[in-house]
Chain A
Amino acid sequence: MRLYRPAPIPGSEITPESAWIMRRDLLRLGAAGGLALAAPSLAFGATELAAKPGGYDPKEPLTPEADVTSINNFYEFGTGKADPAEKSADFKPAPWSVKVDGLVGKPAEFDLDQLMAFELEERVYRMRCVEAWSMVIPWIGFPLSALLDRVEPLGSAKYVAFETVVRPEEMPGQRGVFQPLPWPYVEGLRLDEARHPLTILSLGVYGKTLPNQNGAPVRLVVPWKYGFKGIKSIVRITLTEDEPASTWNKMAPNEYGFYANVNPEVDHPRWSQATENRIGGGGFFGSNDRPTLMFNGYGDEVASLYAGMDLKANF
């Protein structure tokens, strides 16, 4: 039996389609023009985001913002590098909430304001894509360990699993006949990797909140691993006892390992990982190729995590 019957809507009250469309455009305009005076977490698109200097800077030239926000791998919006920037306008990164559960003492949900309330730092990290190109990016975010501390992982927790949002209506790569990957996109880290001070949850880049194509509103950044480990638009973080699945590893286990540490000595079966192309200007004849560094140059900080491990077998 239906207890509640909504009142029928008289035809005279239905918003004409033209007005509805105009309103959508106005909203979009407002967001783009910085008209949104509400809290940053409520605004669409990139807005200013304050952060203190985080003390990480490789002292290499930054990749231009235009490249960082237009050359992306984010298959939820399409497989082309330009697709995420071109096809993510309908994505709504607010409101948002990240559920943290699994082997934790205090499961919790974090909304955007709660995430923004962590102490945000700006950190300049190298980003090495598994496709042998790289960038230098000024992220804004906070150590993942700070969030993990809040939920109090149990002693039995050994791994951290991450999950991207599934919204076919807003993400064109998730709908249609052709689906490049199984959704949701999932990733994982060992708990000690997740707790490492270099591992951050990022909420912004280049002084602003993350644009949709970069994984708005919250993404993972693990600078010593290939870029695909940096899962975007996270909705769930689960602490587990067993090694969680990761999307690319499931797709092609011989090409993408669970660890995916940047390693110039272990080639991808179809291309060399010894060198990388630093994105950003230069044309054909600029020397943008450079040798790839072990652990992407973060060996001093992270090599001890893998002491005694065969990194050729655990690629």
Chain B
Amino acid sequence: MGLPALPRRYHPASIWLLYAVGLFPAAWTFYLGATGQLTGNPVKVFEHLLGEWALRFLILTLMISPLRDLAGINWLRYRRALGLLAFWYVVLHFSANMILDKRLAFDVIVEDITKRWFITIGMAALVMLIPLALTSNAWSIRRLGSRWTLLHRLIYPIAALGALHFCLSVKVIGPEQLVYAGLVILLIGWRLVRPRYMAWRRSRRSVNTGLAPAGPRPK
């Protein structure tokens, strides 16, 4: 199973294309807002769009490994770009709030972060994303070894806090919030059952191929 393979020589270009396409919603909406083409409450529209895209990229990042496990599609090469896009959208989301919404009134911003739960939670997710973004390079992976894997497990609490932040920010939790929260729960839940699933698949495969599982063979 799988998709037609993309020739290797196009891999770097496809990753750059992903960055370009990924940043497009932010750039386009910023253009609309800056030129007065967003109706209603333009700052809030922009702010919320950035937050939603951050969640979308977090979810896409978490989908890469189940996609490989369950559908045999290996898009591991896009995971760093998706994670970094999530990071940049979170940074933009917070910047839009600070600069466009709160107009750099730092007393108000600090009060928001310390007094309002859903903002505290969102801020915690942003802070946790920083070390992940800083170590998302080959050098850090080599340098940190197994600690890198451990560190990058932070993506699970980050995604959970992000979804929670979204749910707590609205007056009533609606279908949209439920979809995002549901996807995050599903994707984190998958990690819990994955070891068992993989073991089951290995054992099934060895039966199908007529090979006994690893161990001493009968003579």
Contact pattern, B 39-55, Cβ under 8 Å of A = 1, otherwise 0: 11111101000000000
CB proximity of B63 to chain A, nearest CB, Å = 24
Q: How far is the CA of A32 from the CA of B105 in the complex (A)?
A: 47
Main secondary structure of the interface of A (DSSP, over half): loop
Stretch of B28-36, B128-136, B201-209 with 4 or more beta carbons under 8 angstroms from chain A: B28-36
Chain B residue numbers with a CB within 8 Å of A133 are: 41, 44
Q: How far is the CA of A180 from the CA of B177 in the complex (A)?
A: 12
Stretch of B18-26, B82-90, B147-155, B166-174 with 4 or more beta carbons under 8 angstroms from chain A: B166-174
CB proximity of B98 to chain A, nearest CB, Å = 13
- Of B38, B41, B117, B172, most buried by chain A (CB within 10 Å of CB) is B41
Contact of A279 among B34, B36, B41, B108 (CB under 8 A): B41
Q: Known: A67-B40, A272-B108, A279-B41. Contact between A284 and B100, CB under 8 A?
A: yes
Contact pattern, B 168-193, Cβ under 8 Å of A = 1, otherwise 0: 11111011001000000000000000
Chain A residue numbers with a CB within 8 Å of B194 are: none
In contact, A284 and B39 (Cβ under 8 angstroms): no
In contact, B39 and A66 (Cβ under 8 angstroms): yes
In contact, A270 and B172 (Cβ under 8 angstroms): no
Q: How far is the CA of A181 from the CA of B37 in the complex (A)?
A: 33
In contact, A180 and B174 (Cβ under 8 angstroms): yes
B68 at interface by CB-CB < 8 Å:
no
In contact, A277 and B41 (Cβ under 8 angstroms): yes
Q: How far is the CA of A269 from the CA of B34 in the complex (A)?
A: 31
In contact, B43 and A79 (Cβ under 8 angstroms): no
A183 at interface by CB-CB < 8 Å:
no
A249 at interface by CB-CB < 8 Å:
no
Contact pattern, A 274-303, Cβ under 8 Å of B = 1, otherwise 0: 000101011111100100000000000000
Main secondary structure of the interface of B (DSSP, over half): helix
Chain A residue numbers with a CB within 8 Å of B111 are: 272
CB proximity of A87 to chain B, nearest CB, Å = 14
A108 at interface by CB-CB < 8 Å:
no
In contact, A270 and B41 (Cβ under 8 angstroms): no
Q: How far is the CA of A113 from the CA of B171 in the complex (A)?
A: 36
A178 at interface by CB-CB < 8 Å:
yes
In contact, A270 and B46 (Cβ under 8 angstroms): no
Chain B residue numbers with a CB within 8 Å of A285 are: 34
B11 at interface by CB-CB < 8 Å:
no
Q: How far is the CA of A61 from the CA of B187 in the complex (A)?
A: 49
CB proximity of A79 to chain B, nearest CB, Å = 4
B116 at interface by CB-CB < 8 Å:
yes
Q: How far is the CA of A108 from the CA of B36 in the complex (A)?
A: 49
A81 at interface by CB-CB < 8 Å:
yes
6 residue pairs bridging A and B, Cβ less than 8 Å apart: A81-B40, A133-B41, A269-B116, A272-B108, A283-B35, A284-B42
A contacts, CB < 8 Å to B? 66-67, 70-71, 75, 79, 81, 131, 133, 178, 180-181, 248, 251-252, 269-272, 277, 279, 281-286, 289
B contacts, CB < 8 Å to A? 33-44, 46, 100, 103, 108, 111-112, 116-118, 168-172, 174-175, 178
A-B pairs with the 7 shortest C-beta distances? A283-B36, A180-B172, A79-B174, A284-B33, A71-B40, A178-B175, A277-B41
Given contacts A270-B116, A279-B40, 16 further A-B contacts (CB under 8 A): A70-B39, A70-B40, A75-B172, A131-B171, A133-B41, A180-B172, A270-B169, A272-B108, A277-B41, A281-B36, A283-B37, A284-B42, A284-B43, A285-B34, A286-B36, A289-B103
